[in-house]
Structure 1
Amino acid sequence: MAKLPSIFIDGESGTTGLQIRARLAGHPGLVLRSLPEAERKDAAAKRALMEQVDLVVLCLPDEGAKEVAAIAAEMGEAAPRLLDASTAHRTHPDWVYGFPEMTRGQAERIAAARRVSNPGCYPTGAIALIRPLIEAGLLPPDFPLTINAVSGYSGGGKAMIAEFEAGAAAPFFLYGLTLEHKHLPEIQLHGGLARRPIFVPSVGNFAQGMLVSLPLHLDLLRGAPSPGDIEATLAAHYAGAEWVRVAPADGAARLEPEALNGSNALELRVYGNAARGQAVLVAKLDNLGKGASGAAVQNIGLMLGVDVNAALPLAAE
């Protein structure tokens, strides 16, 4: 019998790590390995386990992820493959960006890579909207974009989760108002943008779910496309994609962020007013699903050649 591929989730007690482990628990084609709690910060114990597994998933703060990457570099050919869920390597040229649907051939690049950086939640929605328009030539790379987004509080880590669950947080707030949010370099690079966009994130009083919106003046785009042209461009880009779909938009409807929770789905919609030459593009996803642990499981499947679809449900509205 062939040996099953093995995985070590470094940081499995955090929000993303817990969800990855829960999604993969009992998977018949994978073996999950762990360190005893007392050894989780022991570099020697960690390296010893890394020598025994095929893939290490880094669910760590950026500095911790860099430390493990350095250990792997010292191991040379004996090093396991790495999938980093932190922001540490998302713009690093030696790491493949783990958004399989981003562009043609990306899934194959992930499957072949030794080091993959898992995308951020906000960038997943933003890049999903921007990259197809750049590649189609509708959106100039130097176009001045503004991106607005709202996330559930689970994306803010343990301190923010505790604040909301204790009832001590405001029901809604903007943040990142220095315009230096850590996801901006990732959005700009992988979105294909020459000009840094303005990004305004916010948090609402709900645990998980996300909306990312991109307003556009269509008459300023190349060829002055209609809302239908934008929707058709997105649909063509993601034709055949299992987890990304372009859904029809009802301008009279209310769009809420929680409908895809628990799934790996990413839904894109184009709301437009052709007479006014305006459109708002919206991405909806679970910030802990396609925006974190779901995306990681999808990349694990690609990197190890294992079918993980049962761990990646598509939510039906």
Structure 2
Amino acid sequence: MASKVFVDGQEGTTGLKIRDHLSPRKDIEVLEIEPEKRKDTTRRKELLNEADVVFLCLPDAAARESVSMVSNPKTKIVDPSTAHRTDPNWVYGIPELSKEQRERIRDSKRESVPGCHATGFIMPLYPLVSKGIVAKNYPVTCQSLTGYSGGGRKLISAYEDVDAATKEKLRGPRPYGLGLTHKHLPEMQKHAGLENPPAFLPVVGNFYQGMLVSIPLFRRMLKNQIGAKEVHAALQSHYAGQKFVRVMPLFGEGHLNDGFLDPSECNGTNRIEIFVFGNAEQIILMARFDNLGKGASGAAVQNMNLMIGVKEDEGLT
């Protein structure tokens, strides 16, 4: 029997991508809401409780409201919003972090999808913190470059629906969140296992999708002052056998274009690639992935697959 799925907020960037993943699948029945009733609380409540799985592709306050309307004890909720990412009653949706995390997701009825920046930060760093290679009180810094689709329809319009003079101003990358209080910081700190939040600088680029997240480390501050080779080996060991995680060759050998790392190489996939670069004194961890894939809709569907008991990679590449 097909699982009934309702995407609450199906017209947003993430909602549309989730529907793209689900629509070809014969094991999924997507419940439709009539266009004129998208803001009808009664109709939404009916669908929220009819569904086996609900995706909440909504702003935080609206996501919390939708959760409050779910009374069916069998309904499972996957929430891509920021609302529940540090809530102890919700499971955080990175199954590759550990065998135990994957089982928590599999057994959960309330799952929170990680933020795109947080995904690229936690996945390279958590294995090193959990092994004691990077101390929990390490003063971590991070820069994250994302395509403008990461800002949803409003930012997409700001880049695409403008005159020529404005387009010229938008050609270069633009740092934001300069008060160092980005909304992903709480989950980044908690799920990476850090005692303090990182100094985090997000940057939006003039390209539609793709991400590069970078974390510099000083060798002298690592356990036993280990180098890039040992850090790379630790990441390889942690992610061995994970379909959607690739620890790339040390120093990116064979994967650079004239010395440059392309942020769009993973677009259209649920894959994340982790790189280790550096020299005798310094190391840079880098994660490359699709902000709309492993950074949003792909991760949401991957977690849904676990929760309904089908193959984890069903409908994903």
TM over 0.5: yes
Structure 2 length-normalised TM:
0.94
Find 1:68's aligned residue among 66, 69, 84: 66
| Residues 36-45 or 203-212, more deviating | 36-45
Q: What is the percent sequence identity of the aligned residues? A: 44
Question: For the residues of structure 2 that align with 1:183 and 1:50, how far apart are their CA atoms?
Answer: 27
Q: Offset of 1:298 from its aligned partner?
A: 0.4
The answer to whether the aligner puts 1:266 opposite 2:267 as a matched pair is no
Find 1:139's aligned residue among 114, 134, 140: 134
Question: For the residues of structure 2 that align with 1:214 and 1:104, how far apart are their CA atoms?
Answer: 25
Which 4+ runs in 1 deviate beyond 3 A? none
The answer to whether the aligner puts 1:4 opposite 2:2 as a matched pair is yes
Q: After the TM superposition, which residues 122-133 of structure 1 pair with which residues of structure 2 at under 5 Å, given as runs?
A: 122-133=117-128
Structure 2 unaligned blocks of 5 or more: none
Q: Offset of 1:83 from its aligned partner?
A: 0.4
Post-superposition Cα deviations, 1:257-300, rounded to whole Å, max 9, x if no partner, equal 001100000000000202xx111110000000000001011011
| Residues 256-265 or 157-166, more deviating | 157-166
| Residues 157-166 or 130-139, more deviating | 157-166
Q: After the TM superposition, which residues 204-223 of structure 1 pair with which residues of structure 2 at under 5 Å, given as runs?
A: 204-223=205-224
Q: Which residue of 1 aligns with 2:292?
A: 288
Q: Which residue of 2 aligns with 1:37?
A: 35
Question: For the residues of structure 2 that align with 1:307 and 1:145, how far apart are their CA atoms?
Answer: 36
Q: Offset of 1:162 from its aligned partner?
A: 0.8
Post-superposition Cα deviations, 1:147-170, rounded to whole Å, max 9, x if no partner, equal 001000000111210111135352
Where 2:263 maps in the other structure, the secondary structure is coil
Post-superposition Cα deviations, 1:97-130, rounded to whole Å, max 9, x if no partner, equal 0111122311111010010000111100100011
Structure 1 length-normalised TM:
0.94
The answer to whether the aligner puts 1:157 opposite 2:158 as a matched pair is no
Q: Which residue of 2 aligns with 1:240?
A: 241
8 Å contact from structure 1 (residues 29, 306) kept in 2 = no
Question: For the residues of structure 2 that align with 1:142 and 1:253, how far apart are their CA atoms?
Answer: 33
In structure 2, do the counterparts of structure 1 residues 49 and 8 end up closer, same or farther at CA, with 3 Å as the change threshold?
Answer: same
8 Å contact from structure 2 (residues 305, 314) kept in 1 = no
The answer to whether the aligner puts 1:109 opposite 2:110 as a matched pair is no
The answer to whether the aligner puts 1:304 opposite 2:308 as a matched pair is yes
Letter paired with 1:71: M
Where 1:105 maps in the other structure, the secondary structure is helix
8 Å contact from structure 1 (residues 270, 282) kept in 2 = yes
8 Å contact from structure 2 (residues 278, 284) kept in 1 = yes
Cα RMSD between the aligned structures? Answer: 1.3
Q: Which residue of 1 aligns with 2:179?
A: 178
